[in-house]
Structure 1
Amino acid sequence: MNRLAWTATVLTFALAGCGAPETTEPAEAPSPAPAPVTAVDQATRAVAILRTADGSAAGSATATDTGGQVVIALSVQGLPPGQHGVHVHTTGRCDAPGFDSAGGHWNPTNQKHGIEDPEGQHAGDMPNLTVAQDGRGTLEYRLEGASFDGLFDADGSAFVVHAGADDQRTDPSGDSGARIACGVFERGQLVS
């Protein structure tokens, strides 16, 4: 009987152990998924998708309102290596082949041309863009005397890349040559 009592006791504990709830540390609550980046706040960002005269993709210019100032972030590809004048232009049209429909440099304050001009500069004037041998280049610049909403007057605005370097002094255009890429600024565009 002693053996029977011992076996019964062992079985009782064994069966009791099988029915006991498992003790594990509580699982961490899953962190919330980040909000998908599918929209851009139209009040603070606009993008001009740049194309060449034959319609080839040439990059983008993103205008961002940084609290009363406009910063342009430019990224290009497929352009000739070297220095290129780049500017915001007065009209939101980019009719190929010459992109003359974009008008002159954006100049709401009626200044002379060039960031080196001691009398001021057009709001759309920027430093030259350097394009590397692989056809790519980037530039970021804060526009002087510019307002984000001013980009979206009745006829909008465009971004233009010129064939040559801007001398930053010659009025009205810096002697930067033909227009080789153009894009119209549109609020809330996404760059893919």
Structure 2
Amino acid sequence: MKNLIYTTIVSIALCAACAHKEKTQPTPEAQPAAKPAEVTGPLSAQAVMKPAKKQKTKGMVHFSQSGDKIKVEAMLEGLKPGPHGFHIHEKGDCSAPDFTSAGGHFNPGSKPHAGHEAPEKHVGDMGNITADSKGKAKLTLELSGTSIGGTDGILGKAVIVHENADDFKTQPTGNAGGRIACGVIEALK
């Protein structure tokens, strides 16, 4: 009988301790599930590229958001054969004849200029796009460290194609020369 009374008292004490623990420190099962990160804003956008004065470069650059990555697909024509610097610039303004109204490279993190694959680079550094012997160029790449919408997103910025290849070293522009095509990144519905 003493063992039964002792077991009952111990059981009551343990249940009381468990109840107290549940009230002050919920178990992981009792905590609400964390919500997945939400992407705000549009999931796709495009830039219609127009040529600078005395240039022929035109085309389309499409952006599609998937998680924390942006797929970039570019199709251009009217380029001189070879590589051309290809960047997102900070202002969505293609009004100046030489497209200087688009400002510098989009760089909200104040990083150094570098190649697209470098761990430390401008968000807008997309490397070079290379035209074939007929002046046509296609490029597919993935951007990280930004989104289409949001405070530091690419929406409303400009895509610029440069006259020369980006050397990935010269600060802050890669010594890519003049701006030969410009397009403002706009949301797709």
TM normalised by structure 2 equals 0.71
Partner of 1:151: 154
Q: In structure 1, how many angstroms separate the alpha carbons of the residues matched to 2:68 and 2:112?
A: 22
Counterpart AA for 2:168: Q
Partner of 2:51: 52
Tell me whether 116-125 or 164-173 shows the greater mean CA deviation.
116-125
Question: What is the Cα deviation at residue 126 of structure 1?
Answer: 1.2
Partner of 1:63: 63
TM normalised by structure 1 equals 0.70
- SS at 2:83's partner residue? strand
Q: In structure 2, how many angstroms separate the alpha carbons of the residues matched to 1:117 and 1:71?
A: 14
Q: In structure 2, how many angstroms separate the alpha carbons of the residues matched to 1:81 and 1:57?
A: 12
The yes-or-no answer on 1:101 pairing with 2:101 is yes
Is the 2:72–2:140 Cα contact (8 Å) retained in structure 1?
yes
Counterpart AA for 2:185: F
- SS at 2:101's partner residue? helix
- SS at 2:104's partner residue? coil
| 1:11-50 correspondence runs (5 A) | 43-50=42-49
Gaps (5+ residues) in structure 1? Answer: 1-41
Counterpart AA for 1:63: F
Q: CA RMSD in A?
A: 2.0
- SS at 1:134's partner residue? coil
Question: What is the Cα deviation at residue 56 of structure 1?
Answer: 5.3
- SS at 1:101's partner residue? helix
- % identical aligned pairs: 39
Question: What is the Cα deviation at residue 64 of structure 1?
Answer: 1.1
| TM-aligned CA distance change 1:143 to 1:116, over 3 Å | closer
Q: In structure 1, how many angstroms separate the alpha carbons of the residues matched to 2:163 and 2:67?
A: 32
Partner of 2:29: none
Is the 2:61–2:72 Cα contact (8 Å) retained in structure 1?
yes
Is the 1:116–1:169 Cα contact (8 Å) retained in structure 2?
no
- SS at 1:72's partner residue? strand
The yes-or-no answer on 1:142 pairing with 2:145 is no
Aligned positions, number: 145
Gaps (5+ residues) in structure 2? Answer: 1-40
Is the 1:160–1:180 Cα contact (8 Å) retained in structure 2?
yes
- SS at 1:128's partner residue? strand
4+ runs deviating over 4 angstroms: 116-119
Say which one has the larger Rg.
1
